[in-house]
A and B are shown apart, each in its own frame.
Chain A
């Protein structure tokens, strides 16, 4: 087990290093170079040379990469020349909003998707299963912004029930102070994540229902409800843990889109604005962060999988 954990962490470190290499390459493919992008097209050769010297851009690539890595290791994600602010302070400011928004949606989605998947598996092939499968299939085939637009058209423009824009007050406290404005972004993200999770949950529960221990539990006369809650739910939760860890990229992607549509002051919207304004340092800093989150999610999922299921042995 220890060997597996160490090996798995070693792999994650390699992947993180790979992400930094990719980011470093991305920084260097900017046409006309980074100083041009920052200082503008009218900057003189001497100014560019001075900028390069000041930022170490005249050093050999290997040396630049080492410096870049050192910077990242100290938690320095770069500096936005457009906003005149360090990328880490920018991100730190907004990350709580993202965690509140995405976390709430994720929790709600799991609370709905897990029982839904088990109910579908238990009533497999009946009308409730077909209905739920069709609904999640439609949701799954829908880009998240299209779902968001439909919800805005119906609930905001049509019924005037909820505002079409997320709360704009600063900080998580400010966001939570206006819960009505949070409904649509949270609802969109929740539905997107339900579509992502419930199909897997249904498949996992169907696989669990076919196991011998479920048959034993039934044979010894355990009521169906208890079979589902004690045996099926618990065992299916193992695959859900993995699924949540692996779905980080999908969750971050829908997070970015929902933040864009509902104007949520979060890291995703900042990334979008940076791309519109060609604020490369912000884009690259957030890219590294997103890559790190994904690797960490995968790692935790694998370790949790090994820890939760005593039948899994890796030696």
Chain B
């Protein structure tokens, strides 16, 4: 985090540098986006995070094309084998190759993580922008809805829903998104509250711009920094929630490979010394979360979106 600290000392270089001139019909692009990009490029830990994300994604989606393993049929002749030739990370108690299983499990993890971040951010941004811009009673009602949804910790709701319904990838994406849009909604509402009093927004209103246009073309693009940072942290949070759910046994049902499930299963053999069944999955979860958190911190520093997404 050394670089994050130093970057925070720099004077704001992003949207805070001053209101953009109001030109009706054009996107109010915050100034200094190129500068923000350069700031990110100079951020070593952020680049490390980004590199890790690209490497993990490439490995999980391209790796299985080269490294063929059977992750559907258990093979009881190959159970609990330590790492050796042909099986770099050994096999688990069902005889699945652990490296192959990590890669396949990573696919669903990343798919769900990215999809949840996109869906939750889209919903949260729309909700927050409308709530903050409209104000008054609508704002109060919309924010109470957010409060209510925030009052029940996500993991309790997830466990309940998983005990009632049978989880699939689509259902997990939907439910995780419905639980994750609250943070972005609050953040964007706060931004919208300050933006709606700014001259360029008033100018659009005076010139007869409709409310939807103000929200979609002026408010939301100006919260770009906050949105991108929040979305990055959303991926990390969704992956942790997903892995927790799988670890507790409420994730995708077998034979689907999940990192949380692998960790949970491997823990059973902790006393037997089968370390290769425990550590790879745990480190995979941690590494992925660290990668997104690093990228998020660096983005926050370079876009000067100081508000944290949690």
Contact = CB atoms under 8 A, between A and B. Distances in A.
Contact of B286 (A11, A21, A142, A157): A142
B267 A18 contact: no
Interface string A271-312: 110011010100110110011001100100000000000000
Interface in A148-165: 149-150, 152-153, 157
B148 A18 contact: yes
A287 B2 contact: no
B153 A252 contact: yes
Contacts of B236: 141
A35 interface: no
A19 B293 contact: no
Contacts of B249: 276
A11 B2 contact: no
State the main secondary structure of chain A at its contact with B: helix
A141 B289 contact: yes
Nearest to B249: A276
Interface of B: 1-2, 5-6, 144-145, 147-157, 159-160, 162-165, 236, 240, 243-244, 247-250, 263, 267, 270-271, 275, 278, 282, 285-286, 289-290, 293
A88 interface: no
Contact of A145 (B1, B244, B290): B244
Given A18-B144, A31-B164, A143-B243, A249 B267 contact: no
Q: 7 shortest A-B CB distances, which residue pairs?
A: A18-B148, A249-B153, A275-B163, A133-B1, A141-B289, A141-B290, A291-B151
B282 A149 contact: yes
A146 B280 CA distance: 11
Contact of A290 (B152, B164, B271): B152
A29 interface: yes
B164 A29 contact: yes
Given A18-B145, A153-B278, A275 B250 contact: yes
Contact of A275 (B149, B162, B267): B162
A290 B148 contact: no
Interface stretch (A57-65, A69-77, A111-119, A124-132): A124-132
A129 B159 contact: no
A24 interface: no
Interface of A: 11, 14-16, 18-19, 21-22, 26, 29-31, 124-125, 129-130, 133-134, 137-138, 140-143, 145-146, 149-150, 152-153, 157, 249-250, 252-253, 256-257, 260, 271-272, 275-276, 278, 280, 283-284, 286-287, 290-291, 294-295, 298
A56 B286 CA distance: 48
A286 B155 CA distance: 13
A297 B149 CA distance: 15
A125 B6 contact: yes
Contacts of B2: 130, 133
Contact of B293 (A22, A140, A275, A295): A140
Contacts of A146: 263, 282, 285-286
Nearest to A20: B148
A260 B248 contact: yes
A280 B153 CA distance: 17
Nearest to B236: A141
Given A142-B286, A157-B270, A287 B160 contact: yes
A19 B149 CA distance: 8
Nearest to A196: B310
B267 A149 contact: yes
A143 to B, nearest CB: 5
Which one of B153, B164, B267 has the highest number of Cβ atoms from chain A below 10 Å of its Cβ?
Answer: B153
